[in-house]
Amino acid sequence: MNYILFDGPSRNNLLPFTFTRPVADIRVGILTIREKWERYLEYTTTTITEEYLSDKYPMVELSENVLINASYLPNQELAEMIKGLGENQAIFKEEDVIAFFTKDTQEDVNFESYEAIEYHDEILKIENTWDIFTKNGEAIVEDFELLTKGRQSAVIPKSVNTIRAEHIFIEQGASLEFVTLNATNGPIYIGKDSEIMEGSFIRGPFALCDHATVKMGAKIYGPTTVGPFSKVGGEVTNSVLFGYSNKGHDGYLGNSVLGEWCNLGADTNNSNLKNNYAHVRLWNYETENFAKTGLQFCGLMMGDHSKCGINTMFNTGTVVGVSTNIFGSGFPRNFVPSFSWGGSNGFTTYLTKKAFEVAKVVMARRNIEFTEQDAAILEHVFEETKKYRRD
């Protein structure tokens, strides 16, 4: 069977992260949504996404296809239901389609002719940016069980102080000495070839993905995920770094999500609680207004390739777009459009030529090429977000 993950109606609510990737490639828990589905289905997937992303994330369509809404996180029961779908059958959660089997092209699908199968159990769905950190704890637990079932952890070094060691799993090649791991509130997963430097204190649920690093003396509260090749230091609470991003120094990051190739300068801090304790509103690209999150704690949402200088301060509920560069004293406004350059005193446009020069250097440091596909995607984002910038 050919499985295709589609963005679904939540795509625009997940901007700025879906400016540069399909919904399926959002990381929540330990794995990306695509990686979860491929493990449960035991099959590779392709993607239906925005046309400007399709060169990098192509779709393979065969005569028989199962399309899956990528906003939903899989579990074993749902995966088995999907594997058992027959022609013109669809799985729904109330009125929302989760998956369907079709021999038609996607433009010809008519659900009125489908047999509807209702999925009644609870299931995780990522439909807003803040879901990435608010549902991260549950996602870590599910991924931990998926990745470690029937496997033996590497030996925990004698110098490591542990609480509930049975809920700690260390992959081969990981390096950690003289740290404290507390898995009382959730599991701790340490990926292969990762490193936790001495003096760090970590509370689960926590995921350190492959080749990632926790710097000396870090204080990390779960649920937190540090994506592949990322680095974290200082104090972190309930946050997700997708991958290749750095918060390597002292400073606070809480209830936040960083995309890929982000960098927070030394002593960068974000507020995650308003001083009047009111619920936080967050910029929404779909409505082009500030949306109610219903959350008292909500910090920073930062798109791919964005960076900030030392001592940067972010206010509660700040959304930063793609390829921004923020610096200077004071708080920048709580919505910073993509390709902005500046800070609290105002912004100018960060031209793509200069942004691409930086991206090439940053990615080359990790032996990854900044491709023409990457450039084309960012060019599209530059044009699409032009209306938000005011020089």
pLDDT at position 109, please? 75
Compute the average pLDDT of residues 68-72. Answer: 98
Q: Could you give the 3-state DSSP secondary structure of residue 197?
A: coil
Contacts of 287 (CB under 8 A, 6+ apart): none
For the chain, the residue count is 391
Mean of per-residue pLDDT scores for the chain: 96
Q: Could you give the 3-state DSSP secondary structure of residue 229?
A: coil
Compute the average pLDDT of residues 71-98. Answer: 95
Compute the average pLDDT of residues 285-300. Answer: 96
Distance, in Å, from the CA atom of 68 to the CA atom of 5, rounded to the nearest integer, reads 5
212 has pLDDT over 90: yes
Compute the average pLDDT of residues 94-110. Answer: 83
How many Cα atoms sit within 13 Å of 56 on the Cβ side? 17
104 has pLDDT over 80: no
391 has pLDDT over 80: no
Write out pLDDT tens, residues 155-166. Answer: 999 999 999 999
Q: Could you give the 3-state DSSP secondary structure of residue 202?
A: strand
Query: Which structure tokens are listed for 237?
Result: 């609470």
- CA 220, distance to chain mean position in Å, is 18
The residue type at 191: G
Residue 187 preceded by cis peptide, ω within 30: no
103 has pLDDT over 90: no
Write out pLDDT tens, residues 232-248. Answer: 999 999 999 999 999 99
Distance, in Å, from the CA atom of 180 to the CA atom of 182, rounded to the nearest integer, reads 7
pLDDT at position 390, please? 83
pLDDT at position 108, please? 67
Write out pLDDT tens, residues 329-355. Answer: 999 999 999 999 999 999 999 999 999
Distance, in Å, from the CA atom of 246 to the CA atom of 232, rounded to the nearest integer, reads 6
Query: Which pTM value belongs to this model?
Result: 0.96
Distance, in Å, from the CA atom of 212 to the CA atom of 222, rounded to the nearest integer, reads 16
Q: Could you give the 3-state DSSP secondary structure of residue 388?
A: helix
Q: What proportion of the chain, given as a percentage, has pLDDT over 70?
A: 99
Write out pLDDT tens, residues 13-61. Answer: 999 999 999 999 999 999 999 999 999 999 999 999 999 999 999 999 8
| Angstrom distances, CA of residue 68 to CA of 15, 16, 50, 78 | 20, 22, 16, 11
107 has pLDDT over 70: no
pLDDT at position 110, please? 78
Q: What proportion of the chain, given as a percentage, has pLDDT over 90?
A: 94
Distance, in Å, from the CA atom of 52 to the CA atom of 11, rounded to the nearest integer, reads 14
Write out pLDDT tens, residues 164-206. Answer: 999 999 999 999 999 999 999 999 999 999 999 999 999 999 9
